[in-house]
Amino acid sequence: MTDPLTPAGRTPDAALGEPTLRGAVIHLNNEQPVVADLFEFPTARDVAVVCTNMRTQDGKRPVFIDQSDSIFVIPLAYVRFIELPRGLGRDGGEVGPGGARAKPAATPAEAEIEIDEEFLRRIRDA
């Protein structure tokens, strides 16, 4: 008997293809966020997120999984939200090691902020 989730004669990996969104941050209920590679972004009709290469934000294996390179099906009831870092595209471009995001460029307003030395001195002296 063939698996109803995959076409006859195909392995689950072949049915899902390669991950298209790499480095997505999945915020789970009552857990620390995890970084994973999504096969596709969930739509309004989906009830689960399918991903692989799950890791913590510092690149380590989460304690609640056995193998990071497995395929994971996470019910959306356990997902608070999914964060797609800026610059993450469908081309599969990596965000950085362990899903680390590059700091966005400073806006002109942030670049013009000067530190008030007198204020800092008063804080140190207090």
CA distance to 2, 39, 107, 115, 122, per residue, from 98 (Å)? 36, 18, 26, 33, 41
**Could you give the domains of the chain?**
1-97 (2.30.30.100)
For each of the chain's 126 residues, which pLDDT tens digit applies? 444 444 444 444 445 678 788 899 999 999 999 999 999 889 999 999 999 999 999 989 988 889 878 999 999 999 999 998 877 655 444 444 444 444 444 455 555 666 778 888 888 887
Residue closest to 79 by CA, chosen among 36, 17, 15, 19? 36
pTM to 2 decimals? Answer: 0.59
